[in-house]
């Protein structure tokens, strides 16, 4: 493969011939490509970047992303707010706050919500009551909502790389990370976790945030499994989506295809899959007491928890049955986010590395983005899975992504509707109740 080894990464654009036009604050309507051309030269078609020469393959970038110590960089501080989902589950939102505000209060056991632990990730504390009472705001500052990858959280280096920059005064954004159930040292209060197709927690969160911030424009970015969740959500919401624009990064668009991709190499089958599986097994063991309240889960748990070694085995035994699927492959095929691309009606910037050993370049939605005017996919020859490390150790994507969102805020009139005149919109397929039903348009 021409992109198998190297450290000079090139960007290639894939998208519709006639993209949706975005109403401009001044002058003619604009587009995502024009915003990139004006604000983000790193993301332009055929732009190149020099990554760390020592990390000259997707595997090395990916491995370093997993084992590197990034505690000393992009140090951000969070205040945690715990939501209660409709089914009684707990959802934890980590809002980025200043170091001064973080140090202003010392939380006590009284500030720890019921069912939660006082132990949190570094530089994270629960909001005290007075902060929670004053959390709502009538301001119009843009808010970036971030979704992390598999069993990660707000503390992850790839998350903090964006949070630390987007909240800088030059961009003026607020930021909040939605931690998946049981992640980032949060405690579950019902016997349920998460998967790439489960979007109701995001849906509840968006409504919760809208009540807190009725006038803020919302933007979203998802990473890896969080990208899958975000893409699924934006497609499901379609015309009713509350995001002004989203970035989908390192999404395993075809979960079944990605499963094959991981297992076709020795490194994938013997390192990546077992490592990710072990993190999920640890998550189950951490929340064992609550999860075992489900009798069916308890039976599978006692029989298989120390036997599963791969992601497919884990999802066959746990993820699939927990969410009503018979097998991992049934979940993968139905839950893959490429199934929802055609319904996306929110400007959607997609970023995937061709040498990503987790996703697989064959699984990218080249054909789908070509027919949806709301999408623009950027592929890079190098970067691995959530890597993109430059020679100075910084992540290549972080500042360009922030400038894309900031440029969107600067140039686009968010009070006006997007302009689809002249665009060819995707047709809605004729599948109804799992049947293909005519008549068909010719």
Catalytic residue among 224, 258, 273, 337, which? 224
**Which residues 6+ apart lie within 8 Å of 442 measured at CB?**
none
57-95 pLDDT tens trace: 999 999 999 999 999 999 999 999 999 999 999 999 999
167-200 pLDDT tens trace: 999 999 999 999 999 999 999 999 999 999 999 9
Q: What's the domain count of the chain?
A: 1
Instruction: Give the bridge partners for 220, in sequence order.
Output: 145, 246
**Residue 385 designated active-site:** yes
**Residue 31 designated active-site:** no
Q: What is the pLDDT of residue 428?
A: 87
Whether 33 maps to a domain, the answer reads: yes
3-state secondary structure of 116: coil
3-state secondary structure of 438: coil
**Which residues 6+ apart lie within 8 Å of 103 measured at CB?**
none
Is the pTM above the cut of 0.85?
A: yes
Percent of the chain with pLDDT over 90: 95
Catalytic residue among 39, 361, 385, 406, which? 385
**Residue 406 designated active-site:** no
3-state secondary structure of 93: strand
Whether 329 maps to a domain, the answer reads: no
Whether 94 maps to a domain, the answer reads: yes
289-307 pLDDT tens trace: 999 999 999 999 999 999 9
- CATH number of the domain within which 101 lies: 3.40.50.1820
Q: Give dist(CA 304, CA 298) in Å, integer.
A: 10
Q: Give dist(CA 79, CA 84) in Å, integer.
A: 17
Whether 160 maps to a domain, the answer reads: yes
Instruction: Give the bridge partners for 10, in sequence order.
Output: 48
Hey, what's the torsion of the CAs at 126, 174, 162, 374, to 10 degrees?
130
User: Which H/E stretch holds residue 353?
Assistant: strand 348-353
Whether 140 maps to a domain, the answer reads: yes
**What length is written for the chain?**
442
Whether 1 maps to a domain, the answer reads: no
Asked whether the beta carbons of 265 and 357 are under 8 A apart, the reply is yes
Whether 264 maps to a domain, the answer reads: no
Whether 268 maps to a domain, the answer reads: no
Query: Domain of 228?
Result: 8-254+336-436
């Amino acid at each position: 493969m021409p992109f198998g080894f190297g450290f000079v990464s090139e960007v290639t654009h894939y998208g519709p011939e006639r993209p949706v036009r975005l109403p401009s604050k001044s002058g003619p309507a604009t587009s995502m490509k024009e915003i990139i051309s004006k604000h983000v030269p790193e993301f332009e078609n055929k732009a190149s970047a020099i990554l760390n020469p020592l990390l000259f393959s997707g595997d090395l970038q990916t491995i370093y992303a997993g084992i590197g110590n990034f505690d000393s960089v992009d140090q951000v501080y969070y205040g945690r707010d715990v939501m209660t989902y409709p089914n009684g589950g707990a959802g934890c939102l980590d809002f980025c706050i200043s170091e001064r505000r973080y140090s202003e209060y010392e939380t006590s056991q009284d500030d720890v919500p019921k069912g939660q632990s006082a132990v949190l990730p570094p530089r994270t504390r629960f909001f005290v009551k007075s902060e929670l009472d004053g959390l709502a705001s009538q301001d119009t500052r843009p808010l970036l909502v971030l979704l992390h990858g598999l069993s990660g959280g707000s503390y992850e280096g790839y998350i903090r790389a964006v949070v630390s920059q987007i909240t800088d005064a030059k961009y003026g954004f607020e930021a909040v990370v939605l931690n998946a159930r049981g992640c980032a040292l949060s405690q579950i209060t019902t016997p349920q976790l998460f998967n790439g197709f489960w979007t109701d927690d995001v849906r509840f969160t968006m409504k919760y945030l809208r009540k807190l911030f009725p006038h803020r424009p919302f933007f979203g970015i998802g990473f890896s499994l969080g990208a899958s969740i975000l893409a699924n959500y934006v497609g499901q919401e379609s015309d009713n989506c509350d995001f002004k624009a989203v970035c989908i990064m390192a999404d395993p668009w075809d979960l079944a295809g990605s499963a094959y991709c991981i297992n076709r190499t020795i490194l994938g089958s013997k390192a990546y899959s077992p490592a990710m599986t072990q993190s999920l097994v640890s998550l189950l063991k951490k929340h064992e007491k609550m999860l075992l309240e489900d009798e069916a889960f308890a039976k599978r748990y006692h029989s298989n928890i120390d036997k599963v070694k791969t992601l497919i085995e884990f999802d066959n035994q746990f993820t699939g049955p927990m969410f009503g699927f018979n097998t991992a492959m049934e979940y993968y095929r139905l839950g893959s986010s490429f199934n929802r691309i055609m319904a996306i009606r929110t400007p959607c910037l997609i970023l995937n590395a061709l040498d990503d050993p987790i996703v697989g370049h064959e699984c990218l939605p080249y054909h789908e983005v070509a027919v949806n005017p709301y999408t623009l996919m950027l592929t890079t020859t190098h970067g691995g899975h959530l890597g993109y490390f430059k020679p100075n150790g910084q992540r290549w994507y972080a500042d360009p992504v922030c400038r894309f969102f900031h440029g969107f805020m600067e140039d686009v009139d968010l009070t006006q509707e997007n302009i689809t005149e002249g665009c060819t919109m995707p047709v809605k397929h004729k599948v109804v109740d799992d049947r293909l039903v005519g008549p068909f348009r010719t």
